[in-house]
Structure 1
């Protein structure tokens, strides 16, 4: 008994030790059972004796069950890496095209030509470009008419982005056990309001005019459900809807699922396709949208610029494949980056405005750093939430200065929303893809349209042109995402290095 006292805080090691003992003796010995009891500080003999009858295979496959008897603090967290990326966005409909457009300072924001927008204060948006050319989106290449009747546009975007990410990761498991350890976490900020309005009109002509697919189309969890069904993934099937923090929360939650052993692989991200006269009217009534650049839409979204006057709505989807490190290494696949930490917070202040002292942003970033076991001076780049609103950009900038202190002068901080607009529920995940690529390629994406820097904000915002991420021990970044209701998320992402 005393021999095992030194491992009382390492439940995973003891789980592996059990496996070795089972290989040798084809059973779990009483001394190992007692050692596990010491680790947990409670008497779990009865539970673990059940494993003795089935031998090594049962114990090894039931590691998650063994973990459930231990507190998370007693477990050695698994490392989580990014092995696949997929994008459908206003700046390109694959990762290569989107990343190239971002680095070149391109813009996907255009004027809305439909006459229903003519009387609205904002008449611009970041739209997914339809067409058959490379980097554009042709929905008929992917779905039949009958399939499209059963899904919202955002769901279609998510399915295609997930397909690209899975192909990138080379992950199409065939075995049942592999499918059971592969999950999906996809968020959506808003449902398709056009569908709701059209169905409300149809209802006036009789209830039988309402499509039987109406409810499945507007459920936010259907993107995750459709991806899971198409690929047979039976791991966690999870959906988040936290306004503009949705995509980041979906990635963070997926990170936790892999880290804690609920899955070995997670497809995660967000999708949004809610641009309509009604949604734009609603955001205009909140005075949240840009209204001064309808004739020059490519200039409208200008994070951190003195002349910013609101955000520009965008649409699309972005997906990441997160994978347990050893699982990825065993497949010999490319590793883009590693997820090191995840922080959440709430402002507890206002329905739509962040607290002026930046408390929520500071807490989220601080918790992400703590989770990653890092200090502020370890961070080299922050992909900001910065949506191009006068208040929000200033508060986030002040929060960064307050948390990082003198080190903030060495940071690079940029927002890519000038190029693609604000994708709401798909913003955090699209920008996380660009943050991953920054860590992977050592290029910092620019903040375009920053022609007149706000004198109250004096950080390196990577204005207008990409910057090389200069040599450092390890490229480490934070990706921030904040949403209405005071919900905040920050994800710590780094280049992958063996420890």
Structure 2
């Protein structure tokens, strides 16, 4: 590659989340400081030690997807396809072009339409920590109750984490690289980074990155509750459960959903007359190599990821206007992130406005990086930093953690995503000049 690397811009976004059924609804809810964490609806949760989380509510797959897909796919795949359709529609790149009311999704398989790029240079990345886990659990029940013939053949087709990437590539006629990225809670941040690199290094003109997760089933909730990773005892006040950086934090509130971002080279977007929303300017990733669940106490891998991200964007600590923290509300995780921020930014870090979106959305695990990238774009475009909820007793009082919506100048946002196993991913988003 010769000359300056290709700039990468975001031209479309979509979301199906507990905070709203579109990217605009997600931003409006988080910016207003509304919590999407609530008591879980469903008899299957009644006997669990933790019965709160962020559920997708009001989404009707049959109204936005072909009947065959609505019937065969898992809810997490429904959300991924709907979010992807919304992102491509906003970018003016949805093959076929027909969208349902609200502009969120196409009404039928759109692969026959015309893409605005060479199909061989359009790639798809599905980012998830677990994929369609409900399909595997349902198949196991069917095997136990009905024997081998009761296991649906669709499990072999749609039961893996990469199935959504294949579905999306077929849906849009994308002939570039189509794959999954799996790195627990850092999955979609790393997916965005992989998309950035693919465009910069000339392998693609456009990359659709979709973060997706549905771990609100009883098995996953029970496992995380047994590990004491979840906030417990908030059934009477679920909105107060997610408490990043608060001295009384006890764990995270698990959530489900999907978020999609369409990345393009600046030249490709310009050539087709697209209107970019923001620039994806840098990416860094690292591993703690420390423990199966606990972060490194000094945030070693997190700091390495942030430094690499800033260097990739050609920025220094003084150039960051706002930090979107991973901030899940686990005692060790929040402390390690603050230690990492201190190592990277020093004393200046305490003056950079910091917010923790998971206080409002809950923790969407592998989808959280994409969700929070959409929120970061909202801050870049409006100058508004959303509040961190439930910060009643700050554990880090010398840091500028935003607790009320704040209007300011936001030119660059560093967004962090860290996960079990020591996975760390950071992205920098920048306002357009």
The interval holding the TM-score normalised by the smaller chain is: over 0.9
Q: CA deviation at 1:177?
A: 6.1
Structure 2 equivalent of residue 310 of structure 1: 251
Contact 1:150/1:216, CA 8 A, preserved across alignment: no
Alignment partner of 1:271 out of 209, 212, 216: 212
TM-score, normalization by structure 2: 0.92
Aligned partners of 1:210 and 1:149: how far apart in 2?
16
Structure 2 equivalent of residue 151 of structure 1: 73
Contact 1:342/1:490, CA 8 A, preserved across alignment: yes
Structure 1 equivalent of residue 98 of structure 2: none
1:93-242 equivalences in 2 (<5 Å)? 93-130=21-58, 137-172=59-94, 174=114, 178-204=118-144, 205-242=146-183
Aligned partners of 1:384 and 1:346: how far apart in 2?
18
Contact 2:354/2:401, CA 8 A, preserved across alignment: yes
Alignment partner of 1:486 out of 388, 407, 422: 422
Aligned partners of 1:97 and 1:193: how far apart in 2?
27
Structure 2 equivalent of residue 394 of structure 1: 335
1:9-48 equivalences in 2 (<5 Å)? 12=2
Aligned partners of 2:126 and 2:397: how far apart in 1?
34
- Does the alignment pair 1:353 with 2:294? yes
Q: CA deviation at 1:439?
A: 1.2
Q: CA deviation at 1:202?
A: 1.6
Post-superposition CA distance 1:220-271 (Å, at most 9, x none): 0111111110010111212101100011111110111111111111111310
Post-superposition CA distance 1:153-178 (Å, at most 9, x none): 11111110000000111114626962
Partner-residue secondary structure (3-state), 2:375: helix
Q: CA deviation at 1:184?
A: 0.8
Structure 2 equivalent of residue 88 of structure 1: 16
Contact 2:185/2:365, CA 8 A, preserved across alignment: yes
Structure 2 equivalent of residue 411 of structure 1: 352
- Does the alignment pair 1:301 with 2:228? no
Aligned partners of 1:195 and 1:347: how far apart in 2?
31
Structure 2 equivalent of residue 288 of structure 1: 229
- RMSD (Å) for aligned C-alpha atoms: 1.6
Aligned partners of 1:243 and 1:175: how far apart in 2?
32
Q: CA deviation at 1:292?
A: 2.2
Q: 1:176 to 1:303 in 2, by over 3 A?
A: closer
- Indicate the structure with greater helix content: 1
Q: 1:402 to 1:148 in 2, by over 3 A?
A: same
Q: 1:378 to 1:295 in 2, by over 3 A?
A: same
Contact 1:357/1:395, CA 8 A, preserved across alignment: yes
Partner-residue secondary structure (3-state), 1:243: coil
Aligned partners of 2:312 and 2:135: how far apart in 1?
41
Aligned partners of 1:346 and 1:288: how far apart in 2?
20
Specify every segment of 5 or more residues in structure 1 that has no aligned partner in the other structure, as ranges. 1-10, 13-74, 131-136
Q: CA deviation at 1:336?
A: 1.1
TM-score, normalization by structure 1: 0.80
Alignment partner of 1:466 out of 381, 405, 410: 405
Q: CA deviation at 1:206?
A: 2.4
Aligned partners of 1:296 and 1:220: how far apart in 2?
34
Aligned partners of 1:80 and 1:356: how far apart in 2?
34
Specify every segment of 5 or more residues in structure 2 that has no aligned partner in the other structure, as ranges. 96-113
Aligned partners of 1:467 and 1:222: how far apart in 2?
40
Q: CA deviation at 1:148?
A: 2.6
Post-superposition CA distance 1:105-146 (Å, at most 9, x none): 11111112333322322100101112xxxxxx2212023443
Aligned partners of 2:31 and 2:141: how far apart in 1?
44
